[in-house]
Amino acid sequence: MGEKELLDAYRQLWINRELPIEIDETETLRAAIEKELKDEMTHPRLRKSPYEKFHISVKRIVSSTLNDDYKIKLIDSHINVLETLTK
């Protein structure tokens, strides 16, 4: 499973959200997850904490129709990004 496949799997979680490749697939995925966990797509007064967004993200991944290998890799990617955000 390569980074392109993982990015494609992440794209399947979101309907109508464009995710153009910026530098490479790895950086694009990391940036998208960071944006998701920071809740940057929500108005500032309504934003949730990164931990709340992590919980919501994991629920979305687990309930998706993705292959279990993709689910595990995506959850691991979310954990890695969350750890960098909370340092």
pLDDT (0 to 100) of residue 16: 76
Q: Please tell me the distance from the alpha carbon of residue 47 to that of residue 59, in angstroms, as a whole number.
A: 18
Residue linked to tokens 């909370």: 86
DSSP 8-class letter at 48: P
Domain assignment of residue 74, given as a range: 3-13+21-85
Both structure tokens of 38: 């920071």
Overall number of domains in the chain: 1
Q: Please tell me the distance from the alpha carbon of residue 22 to that of residue 29, in angstroms, as a whole number.
A: 10
Over residues 51-74, the pLDDT tens digits come to: 999 999 999 999 999 999 999 999
Q: Please tell me the distance from the alpha carbon of residue 9 to that of residue 46, in angstroms, as a whole number.
A: 28
More confident residue, 17 or 66: 66
